[in-house]
Structure 1
């Protein structure tokens, strides 16, 4: 089937629907951090237990990279997105009636399942529908994911203050799922379904370069998940209000959006991505050092540095993986493996940071640990010489 042109009205509606769907892939996690002190005021919740609210959805993303495509092939892309949005919407709305930590965690797991199914499907859907504009459309999709996190982090405390309920601050984002569902249902009849495709069978489990790329992606995403879970609680402990801490996290994710759009365009000038990767990692390291050594001074600078570094690192990690293989189907299989293993690694970081906070009484040691991880990643970058990609991935 010929790719849908980005200039047609059905394709425009499809892209708007994809953007609205992508906005739903982070609010269920991003809204928790700014409201955590209010939640812990009513529900007994250790920092280790609270970390599960970020950890479990991220782990689900990893597992879905191995199983989610099979689900979408059984149900079809349209029904898979509808089902996923329904799961996210119901799980988010259910938080209006929460009364225990177990119920909060179950809602996070349910939302994570819906997020995971969409995140496994959407890159393939974009590639099949927008073959002439994959980079632009993927950029809009990834930017919308980060934008959803920014909106939830910034406005969840405002919703709480206006309604007097942290439950409403968590549950209000079900409205985003309803909006996305309405748009998706409206456009689903305008574009015919794709013909069935044979699933990829190649395995990268025995390839050492694939594992290196997976660890690189996972360690980089660990910084994102940890900051998403704990930056706002860290500043609330420093005396900030929930609303100001949420706005700070929203500012960081806004910087991620900017970097996520600009960095791939800058890096596209050369196939050797190592300098760009080192600069991004340097920004992240400087941001963590600032959080540790001077959190109250230049308090906008450190989230700015972290956001610019993390926001650019996410797409660049995937681009480096794609660079290793020229054949699109094999490259897609490699990036699915990289994300699958990577998200499983990244999901552990909020739990480890929460345990560190419970045991040592401070998040500073978690930031130091992530700084050491970034230093390790700088060493890993030196291995990404494009002249030897074919040799390493063979």
Structure 2
């Protein structure tokens, strides 16, 4: 193996793979009104375009260990990228309500496969650089959402919404090719044979799951319903997409800051509480003054969400004493967390359909920020999950 080639190719593969884990979801929000008009989807049905992939991420992530045993890291991640590629391509080739819902399922499975396996790969290959590369990975995920959320309305205006959805097969193909090149350089490290720690018995594991789920729920909620909220207030699809772009740009900045700084912090709680405070202020801006405070609210929400996503994963993996344990904890936390996160956009769709108003959802998320702050306070550093089983 060429060390210099490995030194740039593995991070590059993480970057390109991560970029492909959100476009199929993020591109929907700014185009949702047009999609509903052309396909006849109701608000609740439209919310399934976000809820289904997010819920499937959770369900499959709960079986991350079994998936790894059957497929292995290299082939499992490659197969996930293939599913994403095919799903995006089908949306561009056969547009319609049925296709949108079916590809929400297949794309969600592909995303889940990658997200179930990638944290353990990073932990195994990166060693002491794990936190930094996890920050790069999560920032890449948010970067993919930024690009697709902003570009979607302009692509739809130029070539129609089917092409705006289908073009994301191209970066998926690029990510697959890069992963194929990097996977051959990855050193296969055998996992230790040992009894699996029963994570469901640990109160700390459930707190980590709830924390990740609520933070990710804020992300999926904003991703799915912030653009329709503003188009309902009279904004254009391009303007609403730009606002979502501001959210995701702030997420990328916060994610980069976490990746550069987090290795220096032994206690993650000050960073967690700062991120929660930014998200809380953003939600209050959207609830109290959505027109006057749209841009500050978007930026604050993005900063909070962007920091919380990598931090919640890093904090969860901190509780593992070995790569195997860290991967198992990440799978458990993400699995249940994504199932929890899927409920928020579904609830928002139900409220919009029955109340014609999304403002109560921002108030609910503000309240959940207080719950997250309470959880963050008890997440003391350097406490392996086996020690915390009764806590």
Structure 2 length-normalised TM: 0.92
Query: Match of 2:301?
Result: 306
1:15 aligned residue (11, 16, 35): 11
Query: Match of 2:111?
Result: 115
Query: Match of 2:219?
Result: 224
1:294 aligned residue (289, 293, 297): 289
> Are 1:24 and 2:20 counterparts?
yes
Greater shift, 226-235 or 68-77, is seen at: 68-77
Aligned partners of 1:38 and 1:128: how far apart in 2?
Answer: 44
Alignment of 1:43-82 (within 5 A): 43-82=39-78
> Are 1:135 and 2:131 counterparts?
yes
Aligned partners of 2:92 and 2:382: how far apart in 1?
Answer: 55
CA contact (8 A) 1:98 1:104 kept: no
Aligned partners of 1:172 and 1:261: how far apart in 2?
Answer: 26
Aligned partners of 2:318 and 2:132: how far apart in 1?
Answer: 17
Aligned partners of 1:44 and 1:161: how far apart in 2?
Answer: 20
C-alpha offsets along residues 261-311 of structure 1, whole Å, 9 cap, x if unaligned? 213655555433333222211111111111122122242211110011111
Query: Match of 2:148?
Result: 152
Query: Match of 1:329?
Result: 324
Provide the aligned C-alpha RMSD in A.
2.3
Structure 1 residues 332 and 80, CA gap change in structure 2 (3 angstroms): closer
What SS does the aligned partner of 2:63 have?
A: helix
Alignment of 1:339-354 (within 5 A): 339-354=334-349
Alignment of 1:1-394 (within 5 A): 8-163=4-159, 165-191=160-186, 193-195=188-190, 198=193, 201-263=196-258, 265-266=260-261, 268-386=263-381, 392-393=388-389
CA contact (8 A) 1:200 1:333 kept: no
C-alpha offsets along residues 301-338 of structure 1, whole Å, 9 cap, x if unaligned? 11110011111111222233334454443343223222
Structure 1 residues 114 and 245, CA gap change in structure 2 (3 angstroms): same
Structure 1 residues 199 and 237, CA gap change in structure 2 (3 angstroms): farther
CA contact (8 A) 1:219 1:373 kept: yes
Structure 1 residues 335 and 183, CA gap change in structure 2 (3 angstroms): closer
* Structure 1 portions without partners, runs of 5+: none
Structure 1 residues 187 and 392, CA gap change in structure 2 (3 angstroms): closer
C-alpha offsets along residues 332-388 of structure 1, whole Å, 9 cap, x if unaligned? 322322221111101111101111111111110111111111122222233234487
What SS does the aligned partner of 1:295 have?
A: coil
What SS does the aligned partner of 1:168 have?
A: helix
Structure 1 residues 108 and 330, CA gap change in structure 2 (3 angstroms): same
Aligned partners of 1:286 and 1:315: how far apart in 2?
Answer: 20
